[in-house]
Amino acid sequence: MDKIKIDDIEFSGSTIEMLQGKLLLIQGRNGMLGCGYFNVETADKLNSAMAIVTGVKCYDDMLTQPVVKVSARAAEYGVTIGISGKEALLLMK
C-alpha cells in the first residue's frame, strides 16, 4: 500500500503489475478511484462508491485524468463524468 496525500487528506494506493500494464487503485474512506481494469457494474452491485479513469500508468495520471465512469454510490457524493480523478477522490474522501 502506498500513501497518497491530496490537500492534507491521506489516501491509500495499490498497484498490481499486470502483463499488459498496471492495475491501479486509490482508496479513500468513502470511495475509490480505479483504472480501466475495474468494473462500475460490480461496484453498483456491492453499493460501493467508485469512479473510473482510463489511460493511466501511475497515481499522478489518475489524479489528472477525467472520470469516465461513475457508480451510483459515487454519484451520491457528487462525482460526475468529466471531473478529474483528484476532484472525485476529494468528493469521496
DSSP state of 66: B
Q: What is the pLDDT of residue 93?
A: 87
- pLDDT tens, the chain, 93 aa long: 899 999 999 999 999 999 988 999 999 999 999 999 999 999 999 999 999 999 999 999 999 999 999 999 999 999 999 999 999 999 998
User: 3-class DSSP state for residue 41?
Assistant: helix
Q: Tell me what pLDDT residue 20 has.
A: 86
User: Does domain 2-91 match CATH 3.30.1980.10?
Assistant: yes
Cell of 24: 491501479
Dist CA 13 CA 27 (whole Å): 6
Which helix (H) or strand (E) segment holds residue 2: the answer is strand 2-6
Domain residue spans of the chain: 2-91
Give pLDDT, residue 76: 97
